[in-house]
Each structure stands twice: as structure tokens, then as C-alpha cells.
Structure 1
Amino acid sequence: MSIFGDQMLLPTTITVAVLQAGHGVSGVGYALAAYTAPLALFVIFGGVIVDWFTPVRVMVAADIARLIIHSALVVAFAVGRPTLWVVLMLLALSGCASAAFQPGFGSLIPRIAHDVQKANAAIRVAESLATVAGPAAAGLLLVLASVPVVMAIDAVTFGVSAACLLALRLRIPHVERQVSLRRDLAQGWQEFRARRWLWSVIVVFMFFQVTVNGPFMTLGPSLITIEHGETALGVIMSMFGVGAVLGGLVAARLRPRYPLRAGAVALAVGGPLVILVVAMRLPPPILAGGYLMDGAASAFWLVMFHTSVQTKIPSDVLGRVHAYDVAGSVVMRPVGQVVGGLVALSLGAVPVLYFSSVMFLVTVCLLLSVPMIRNLPRD
């Protein structure tokens, strides 16, 4: 529910709202960055808080905070045209709350699921459906209602999320210990660093964000829009969510002996293809097929990776370790987006996309070249 609300707000509704408020395209960019930057910067501290107070308590607090923050955003747009700094401040606060929610989400799953892999697969399917349905619902509602109404629906989804979490009958024993932010951050880092397979994956994906994902997120949709229009872009992008549903369903069934190896092979099959079909400027049906395969491969990899993390990290430090995972995975994406855009200005978008497709294969080879990733057994 909260992901559905996020997909309604970001980027669809907030883009329309900021433009209607007269802050221009640059204002939209600042608004999106105002949400993403605090998430990347503070998620590590969120992991410490989760391990201090247990996941459910922190997640409920984060949902209530986002309900209040997004309600304030509703009021700001309902009474007039808010200044840009008000919008940026509220979105930044929402990003901080999300930074506390994400580590709790990752560390909660192994506490409530007997079969962690199936649970991750089910969650991936649900997230994919929300990713497809959220922007579609926002687009429809923006035709029928005003921006504050859509924002209000987004705010309510956090209340629903908190209610669902409160309904969990989960008993996590409280461990008395001296609270020390510096010590607990260091302990989380030590647990993260001690697992070579884990930090190796994150280092490889930092390279992936700069050379593949960041440039493709910037150039792919832009090229499709120029070639085929906004309507075609919406349909093509939605096929990524459909593919992710299929990938999640497959991941619920398959039990590879070496999950990260299987996930990397899936990425090699589905990932470079979507970049190539965009670079070759192929017709929309083929582009849609490429995005579908990419969504399936990405979902399969994520289920294999998150299941490995959640079954091999002790629960009392899982929140902090998951936070380092999220921070490392996200922090280099904006760099890739900026670099990809700048290089495309000089060389053109198509050469950059061809380069990214090759780097995708390099990423997979790097993953498979590390024995502790390639040979990590299923727990």
C-alpha cells in the first residue's frame, strides 16, 4: 500500500503539482532530489534505529510520520501555490522517514516468514503490481480530481500500512544494551565488511549504477519519448512491472543451489537486451518485450539476493547490514544519471546506450568472477 502511494506521488503527481505551482522543470528535478538524497544519506542511521527499537516499531513510526508529512503537503497545495522551499522541505522529511522504514522492511521478512525466498518473491510481485498500478491510478485521478485529492489518497496509504503492521502479532524479545550510535554503526560496518560476497556485490553494483543503470534511466525513456511519444512510453514502461511479476512468480518456484549465480545468469539474459533494443530504435512491441524481459530478470535477481542476505545475516544486526546494502546500491545512481546525460550531449544517446549494454555484461562477469558470490550456497 505504501509503495502504491509512493508511485502515485513520485514522480507523476509531484511533477504535475510543481509545474502547476509555477516552479518549472528545474523545480521538478529539485523536488525529486529532495526526496532521494535524504533516503540515501540517512538510511544507515535508520538501520541502527531499527536494531535498537525492533523493526515493527520503527516502521509504524515511519508510516505515521509520512502520514503527517504528506498530509501537510496536501494542505500546502490545497490552500494555494506553495513556495518551492516548502515542497522541498516536506519531501526531504518524507525521505528521512523512508530511510527508517527501508531497513526495517528488510529485517522484518525473515522474522515472519518460514520460507524467506517465497516471501521475497510474493513481495516482489506485489511491489511490481503497485509500481504498475500507482502511476496509472495517479494519471486517471488527475484527470478526474485535483492534485490535493491525489496527494490525500497517497497520505492515507501510509495509514493503511501502519495499521497492517500493528496487526502483526510478532514478539521480538527486547535485549537490554547500552545505546551507542558510533559503536553500533561500527558494528554494522564490521558485519557488512566481514562478508566478502556481500560487499563484493555492492561494489559491483556501484559500478553498475554509474555505467549502466544511471545512464539508461536518463536516456532510455527520453529516446523512447522522442521516437514514439509519451503514450507509447507509458505502455512500454509498464511492461517492466509485468515482467517483474513473472520474475517473482518464477523465483517462488525455483530453488537454485547457488542463488546468486542463478540471479546473475538471469541478469545476463534479460538486462543487456533491453538497452540494445532501445539503442537500435526498434518498434514499440519489441521495446515492450525488452522491458518485460528486463523486469523478469531484475525481479529474479532481487529475490535471490535479498533472500541470501536475510538468511545469512544475524537478525540482531540485519537492519544495519541491510542499510549499508541500500546506501551502497543507491548512492551512485545519481552520478550515473548525471554522467550519462553529460556524455550523451557530446557523443549522442545511442553510443552511450551501446556502451551501457556492454558494461551490463561486464557487470555480470564481475559478479561471476568472485568465487564467494558464484559459489554461495542456498541456506
Structure 2
Amino acid sequence: MAGQALWSRNFTLFFLARAVAALGDAMLPVALAAGLLQHGHGAGAVGLAMASTAGSFAALVVFGGVLADRFDARRLMIGADLVRLVTQALAAVLFFTGQVVLWQICVIGAVNGVAAAVFQPGVAGTVPRLATDVQGANGAIGTAEAGAQLLGPAFAGVLVAFASPGGVFAAHAATYGVGALCLVLLRLPPLPRRKNAAGRVVAAFLADLAEGWREFRSRTWMWGVILIWCLMMVASWGPTIPLVAAEVVREHGAGSYGLVNSAFGAGTVIGGLVAFRLRPRRMLRAGGIAIAAFACFPAAVGAGLDVPAMAAGAVVAGAGRAFWAVMWATSVQTQVPASVLNRIHAYEVAGSLAMVPVGQSLAGPAAELFGAGQVLLAAGAATLVVSAALLGVPAIRNLPRADRPAVRGGPAAPAPAAAPPARPGGPHE
């Protein structure tokens, strides 16, 4: 049975590691926004703090991909989790003691971004090694992450209201400890590693970078999505996160922001469950249609709707984003050979997130110039433009699905033409 094959000991441990980490990450925006606002900072400071993490991550994730392909990705991921355990514990001390200085928070965020750059590339290469049903695995992980998005903000709101933002940072640090433990217990068959002659490590590293770039450049559907996604990050996702946080916390309180963010999480649960079951023949086409729903989140907040209406918009937006995320992740993991997957994943992550710090950094100045509501409405409109652009590129909308990872030198294995759509608990294809 598909479910039995999916839920092996290894996959269960990895699933738990990702779910717990997602819970902590979902709590962080509430703590960051509430904590900085409590200490006299505005939306611009929240954007800068978020941009410090996103910027260092985007700048270094390509190098993390080379490391993950050349060394033991699992050990790199464990080390990255342990680093973030320490940094978030330090942030908790700063907020508990009230010694909150913006540049210190930004430095902590930058270090977290470096650790994430080492961690993230290994995720793409690990999933196909844990499960033969790659879309099912991504759907399960995505649903767990969505559940964390649902519970995390509400839990963070309670901690902020009855304790302090420092309690959220302490809990976030603990999630990295749990994630590291799960990865320590993970047992994967070793992959062949290339050996370098002494003194040629740098040359081999640069050669790996160049090979990864050639593989990335050769896939029109991939770099086409990334180019379009840059617009999404600058004009929609980047400004939406800090401005929604600042606006909702300022106008309705941290508890309401937790509620709205939890509604977004509920939507991502729905989107993840749909992605777990639905097996479209053109995955990126389906995802491109779904991502248009994200426009409902910034538009609802920008229009100044009440909390229930903002929550409804967040549900719709979360469902669309989650469905797109599974379609995209599965396409990458099944269309790219395992030998270069971590590097390819690093390039696509770097490209897709490179503009996030730009959008986050510009959010505050744009809000002061035009008003936060107008910027958020523009973010909703930009999302619709992104959806149309994805569907307008033939290489993206016509990419056929593949249910098994690609082999080196050959195409990805297509889904059997006569096979019925797989479903949770159904037989493997």
C-alpha cells in the first residue's frame, strides 16, 4: 500500500523533523513583529530583521548546495540545526532581559540565514531517498508544515500575551534541538562521494558550481519559473509578510495576527491535502493557476477588512500557495538527476528567494510613501500577474509530470499513460 510504503522509520523521523521545525518557524513572525514593536520599532525594522535572514540565505544557499552534493548532507543539516538552536536561545535572552537592539537582532537573523543555506539544499536530495512516492512525501510534509502554520502563530500569540516574545524564541530554539535529534537518528544508505586531490579542493568546488549552473540553465521551465518568481518576491511575498504583521498587530493586536496567520495555516493544510491526492498531468500548470489565490491575503489586509474577512482571505491564499509548493518541489525532485539535485535545488532556491530581502527592505519605505494598504493591494495585483506569466510560458505550462526521479543523462521517468491517479492508501504506481 502507498501509505505503508511511505511511512517507513526513516521517513517518519524526517517528517517529524520538518514538522517541528515548521512549527517554530511559524511562531517566529509573531514574536519578531510583536517584540520589535513593543520596543519602539516600526514596520521598517520588522522588514529589516526578516531581510537579514533572507539576504544571507539567498547569498549563500548555492554554496550550501555544492557542500550537500559533495559531503554528507545529513550531517550538514544537523550542524545547521544546532547553530540555530544557539542563536535563537540568544535571541530569547535578549527579549527576556529587554536588551533588544535592532542590529543585534539582524546579526542573529543573518547567522540563521547562513545556517539555513547549509540546511535547505539537503532537503531536496533527502526526500527522494526516503520515499518512492515523491509527490506523496512532499504532500505529507507540506500538510504537516501547513498544520504547523495553523498552530504556530496561535501558540505564539498566547506566549506573547501571557509571557513575552522571549518565550517564543526559546520555544523556537527547542524545535531546532528536536529536529537535530531526529536527523541524528535518521539512517540513509551512503551516496558515493567524489575524492579530491590535495590542493585541488577549490578548483573542484568551482567546477561543481559551474556544473550545477549548466544543469540549471539547461532547463527552460526551471529558470523561467525563477525569473517570474523574482517579481513575486519583490512585489508580493516580500512586502506582504512584514506589512501584514505590522498592520494587523498595530490595528488589532498580536492575538488577531496570530489568528489571521493561523487561518493562512489552515488554508495550507487544505492545499497540502489536495496536493497529496490530486495528480495533475501538467503539475506546473495546475500550480500556476493555484498560486493566483495568494492575492487574497495581501488584498484583504490592504483593503482594511475586518479580522474574519482577513482570515477568510488568508485561508484561500494558504491553500493556493501550498498546492503550488508541492507541485514545484515534486517537479524539481523528479525532473533532476540525484547527482546534481542538491545543487540545482540550491540554484532554484537562491533565484526564487534572492529578491525577498529586497521586497522586505522596501516594504517600510514604500508604506511610508504610499501607505501600507496601497502597497498590500499592489502586492495582490502582482500575484495575479505572476500567475498569468507562469501560464504564459509554454515550457512551464506544458511540462509533463514525472513520478520517478530522473537518471543522469536521461529524462525524468514519465507517469504511465494509463495509470489512474494515485491516492492516499492506494496502490503504488
Question: Structure 2-normalised TM-score?
Answer: 0.78
From 302, 308, 314, give the equivalent of 2:325.
302
Aligned to 2:280: 256
Amino acid of the structure 2 residue aligned with 1:4: L
- Residue 100, structure 1, aligned to residue 124, structure 2: no
Instruction: Give the helix-richer structure, 1 or 2.
Output: 1
2 CA distance for matches of 1:150 and 1:279?
Answer: 27
1 CA distance for matches of 2:325 and 2:51?
Answer: 24
> Relative to 1, partners in 2 of residues 1:213 and 1:63: Cα closer, same or farther, differing over 3 Å?
closer
Q: Is the 8 A contact 1:64 1:158 kept in 2?
A: yes
1:55 Cα offset (Å): 2.0
Matched residue of 2:279: which SS? coil
2 CA distance for matches of 1:186 and 1:288?
Answer: 45
2 CA distance for matches of 1:197 and 1:301?
Answer: 15
> Relative to 1, partners in 2 of residues 1:187 and 1:15: Cα closer, same or farther, differing over 3 Å?
same
Amino acid of the structure 2 residue aligned with 1:135: P
Amino acid of the structure 2 residue aligned with 1:170: L
From 337, 343, 348, give the equivalent of 1:325.
348
Question: After superposition, where does 1:210-359 map in structure 2 within 5 Å?
Answer: 210-222=234-246, 224=248, 230-268=254-292, 270-339=293-362, 341-359=364-382
Identity %: 44
Offset from partner CA, 1:235-284 (integer Å, 9 cap, x none): 2232111000000000000010000001111223x233444444444443
Aligned to 1:206: 230
C-alpha RMSD of the superposition: 2.9
1 CA distance for matches of 2:32 and 2:381?
Answer: 34
2 CA distance for matches of 1:27 and 1:298?
Answer: 26
> Relative to 1, partners in 2 of residues 1:298 and 1:356: Cα closer, same or farther, differing over 3 Å?
same
Aligned to 1:360: 383
> Relative to 1, partners in 2 of residues 1:218 and 1:16: Cα closer, same or farther, differing over 3 Å?
closer
From 161, 175, 180, give the equivalent of 2:193.
175
- Residue 37, structure 1, aligned to residue 55, structure 2: yes
Amino acid of the structure 2 residue aligned with 1:289: A
1:310 Cα offset (Å): 0.4
1 CA distance for matches of 2:169 and 2:371?
Answer: 37
1:122 Cα offset (Å): 1.0
Q: Is the 8 A contact 1:3 1:130 kept in 2?
A: yes
1:296 Cα offset (Å): 0.4
How many pairs align? 376
> Relative to 1, partners in 2 of residues 1:136 and 1:181: Cα closer, same or farther, differing over 3 Å?
same
1:159 Cα offset (Å): 1.9
Amino acid of the structure 1 residue aligned with 2:223: W
1:188 Cα offset (Å): 1.2
2 CA distance for matches of 1:194 and 1:322?
Answer: 14
Q: Is the 8 A contact 2:243 2:372 kept in 1?
A: yes
> Relative to 1, partners in 2 of residues 1:366 and 1:95: Cα closer, same or farther, differing over 3 Å?
same
2 CA distance for matches of 1:306 and 1:317?
Answer: 15
Aligned to 1:7: 26
2 CA distance for matches of 1:265 and 1:245?
Answer: 18
1:200 Cα offset (Å): 0.3
> Relative to 1, partners in 2 of residues 1:225 and 1:153: Cα closer, same or farther, differing over 3 Å?
closer
Aligned to 1:153: 171
1:2 Cα offset (Å): 2.0
Question: Structure 1-normalised TM-score?
Answer: 0.87
1 CA distance for matches of 2:75 and 2:164?
Answer: 34
1:134 Cα offset (Å): 2.4
Greater Cα shift, 256-265 or 224-233: 224-233
> Relative to 1, partners in 2 of residues 1:374 and 1:235: Cα closer, same or farther, differing over 3 Å?
same
1:341 Cα offset (Å): 4.6
Matched residue of 1:317: which SS? helix
Q: Is the 8 A contact 2:235 2:379 kept in 1?
A: yes
Aligned to 2:413: none
Greater Cα shift, 224-233 or 49-58: 224-233
1 CA distance for matches of 2:309 and 2:164?
Answer: 36
- Residue 116, structure 1, aligned to residue 140, structure 2: no
Amino acid of the structure 2 residue aligned with 1:374: R
Q: Is the 8 A contact 2:235 2:382 kept in 1?
A: yes
Q: Is the 8 A contact 2:69 2:343 kept in 1?
A: yes
Amino acid of the structure 1 residue aligned with 2:288: A
2 CA distance for matches of 1:357 and 1:339?
Answer: 16
